[in-house]
Structure 1
Amino acid sequence: MNTKIKIRHKRVKNKILNTFSRFSLSALVVTSFFYTAPIFINFADKNFNNKEFTNNSKNILNKTLNMGKTFEEDDTWMQSNEIDLLYDILEENNSEINLVRYTTSEINALFKEVKYDLEEVRDTKLVKPVDIGLLPNEIKNIGNTKKRKEMFIKIVLPLIVKENNKIRIDRKRLFNILAKNSNTDIEKKWLEKKYKQYGVRQNDISTLKIRMDEIPVSLAIAQAAKETGWGTSRFALKGNALFGQWTWSGEGLKPKNAEKGEEHKVMKFHSLQLSVRAYLRNLNTHSSYKNLRKARTKLRNRNKPLDSLILSKHLDKYAETGTEYIEVLQKIIKQNNLKDFDEARSLPSSKDLEAAPFKIVNS
């Protein structure tokens, strides 16, 4: 009888120890993930994300694909239809989901809760995945210029980093596809989608490579600040338009100072995120910014970082003021030390964590 009790006791003890071990291992994995995520992101950026620009085989691939015209786009054919270029954005613009417009105090409370601090971002180059869909109406009432700028940057920075990251992932996938001897049907369909998205002729890989690339974060922030008066303009507050993009076919807001006969409007967006995406698509496809893309490609091929002060020189056609507009952008970039954010990367969001390669299972 005592022997049976001892055996049963031993089995129960072993079961408890096994359960505790599994729980401890799961807890250790989760803790390790949160602790090592920032370290891993920095390591991955340094060792993987830039690999396509330091690998010598890439230069050989460029010469083969471009036939000696490394920096040239094919501008004999242009997908100028706004609906085709922005089809994914226009689809989301029709979303029936109502976004919540938070007050400045609510947003500040959120930033404080998640410990979102710009000085920390400048130091660590890591951005909290905060997604604010609409600007707060009270932003125009913030009398302290420094605080108003800080609020604006905190809102738009994660959105710009997120969209640039999508392009970075697409660009990496493009180069992986090009490195293969043959492609799957899924890869071919993906390429067809990207040709359409970037207004590129079918199979024009050279032009697609030039257009499918990032815009420096500092340049995007500076343009958003200039176009919206640091988030206080009517277009930004009523139409989520951060970059003042015109439309002749889409839904938009009519400029108050528009001359008689002018039919254009400033495009409206369902969210600030879509405005950022449309802006990047605009700079990456419109013929007015061909020289910007050419300068960017030269920097890439020389293994140089994308310098906003260099690329901004090719934005004279973005505004009627021409070279004066460039000077204003460069002044905003320098005075606000915006280049500190150019290497910023986003920390994993809750959705990213849900897709993490491990799960905690209760035993």
Structure 2
Amino acid sequence: MNNRKLIKGLAGGAVVGTLLLGTILPLHAETITMQNFDEFSRFFEGKGYSIAKWKEGTQPVPPYVILDIPEEWRKKVAPELPVAEKKRTFLRLSIPLAFVANHALREDRKHLKTLEEDHAAGKALSKADEKWLLEQADNYGLGGRDIDESFWHELKHRVDIVPPSLIVAQMVDESGWGTSRFATEGNALFGQWSYKGGIKPKEQRKSKGNYSVEAFKTPLASVQAYMLNLNSHDAYADFRKARATLRAQEQTVTGPDLVGTLIRYSERGEAYVKNIEAIMTHNDLSPLDAARIADEKIMYVTLK
């Protein structure tokens, strides 16, 4: 692949959501179906899972993946729960999503570094590896670039994790603890806009055109699309630069260190950033950035 250019392609969130989902979810995995949220709470406690232990680092985060956010959560369950219990339940569901999505990015990043080393050593990439690299370049907005030092440098800046504390805090803000109409109708946890269909807002702003909120097959796909957005859009170049600086200094990539770079994420600007900071602080989310995912098989969770 020396001195050749990558084929240009689309870098849409929906596209990468599908691609990444296929890399981390096995076709066959244990699926646990629960009839209600009481049963989920019993499952969580019966397994000995503890958010406090995840934050302490004494227990890894289990890789279970909720496959849908039921309408029942918005209409009945969340409104009737005490606020503390509603928050606790949503965190039990959302934190593992952040860790599973980040795990996939870490694996992609490892593979990318291996290919870079092989390329630097003059080794020819296999067809499978070349195809994978082309897809990553397209997904992250680098299609058409020469395969040179700057290409590898920039792609590594983009194929990287988003701090769990930041993922969860933005998920909380954008979805209202999973109770928004967009979350329960389309697993849309970050309110990402689309001009190619989705869920129409009840009060659409005419000045913004005929937009919708993008819907996803699963909550995990929503998380992945959000992460791709931060990792590819020009508006978040400062986010990626700050993260790369932390990497270069061999420091932990944390939400508090990066949240200030997301001033363009919302029209609310500085007020939005301050709100995300407050969510991280009030819910003690920062310790999650040092937590780890359990080395276990992915488990699907379906709530009725």
TM-score if structure 2 supplies the norm length? Answer: 0.81
Q: Which residue of 2 aligns with 1:104?
A: 37
Match of 2:201, SS?
coil
Q: State which structure, 1 or 2, has the greater radius of gyration over its C-alpha atoms.
A: 1
Q: CA deviation at 1:89?
A: 6.4
2:125 is the counterpart of 1:162: no
Query: What do residues 114-133 of structure 1 show as CA deviations (whole Å, max 9, x unaligned)?
Result: 22211121222511222211
**Within-5 A mapping of 1:128-167:** 128-136=62-70, 137-138=72-73, 139-167=77-105
Match of 2:247 among 294, 297, 300: 300
* Contact residue 194 and residue 212 of structure 2 kept, 8 A: yes
Q: 2 CA distance for matches of 1:239 and 1:177?
A: 36
The 1:148–1:190 alpha-carbon spacing in structure 2 relative to 1, beyond 3 Å, is same
Aligned CA-pair RMSD = 2.7
Distance 1:232 1:102 in 2: 19
Output the CA distance in 2 between the equivalents of 1:320 and 1:78.
29
Give the Cα–Cα distance (whole angstroms) in 2 for the partners of residues 128 and 298 of structure 1.
30
Matches within 5 A, 1:339-354: 339-350=286-297
For structure 2, which runs of at least 5 residues remain unmatched after alignment?
1-7, 24-31, 300-304
Task: Give 1:245 deviation, angstroms.
Answer: 0.6
Partner of 2:55: 122
1:314 aligned partner: 261
Compared with structure 1, are the counterparts of its residues 81 and 216 closer, same or farther at alpha carbon in structure 2 (3 Å cutoff)? closer
- Does the aligned pair in 1 maintain the 2:182–2:213 contact within 8 Å? yes
Give unpaired runs (5+ residues) of structure 1: 1-76, 93-98, 353-363
Q: 1:342 and 1:125 mapped to 2: Cα distance?
A: 14
Partners in 1 of 2:164 and 2:228 — Cα distance? 14
Cα deviations across residues 49-68 of structure 1 (Å, max 9, x unaligned)?
A: xxxxxxxxxxxxxxxxxxxx
Quick one: which of 136, 139, 142 aligns to 1:197?
139
Partner of 1:61: none
Alignment of 1:1-363 (within 5 A): 79=10, 85-86=16-17, 88=19, 102-123=35-56, 124-136=58-70, 137-138=72-73, 139-180=77-118, 181=121, 182-185=123-126, 186-201=128-143, 202=145, 203=147, 204-249=151-196, 251-260=197-206, 262-350=209-297
Q: Secondary structure at the match of 1:131?
A: strand
Question: Residues 84 and 168 from structure 1, CA distance in 2 versus in 1: closer, same or farther, beyond 3 angstroms?
Answer: same
How far 1:193 sits from its partner (Å)?
Answer: 1.8
| More helix by percentage | 1
Distance 1:82 1:344 in 2: 27
Give the corresponding residue for 1:32.
Answer: none
SS at match of 1:293: helix
Structure 2 contact 160–231 (Cα < 8 Å) conserved: yes
Quick one: higher RCO (CA 8 Å, sep 6+), 1 or 2? 2
Q: 1:89 to 1:258 in 2, by over 3 A?
A: farther
Shift of 1:350: 3.8
More off after superposition, 238-247 vs 189-198: 189-198
Residue by residue over 1:60-81, the C-alpha shift from the partner in whole angstroms, topping out at 9 and shown as x without a partner, is xxxxxxxxxxxxxxxxx99555
- Alpha-carbon separation, structure 2, partners of 1:183 and 1:217: 36
Given that 1:289 and 1:315 are in contact with CA atoms closer than 8 Å, whether structure 2 keeps it comes out as yes
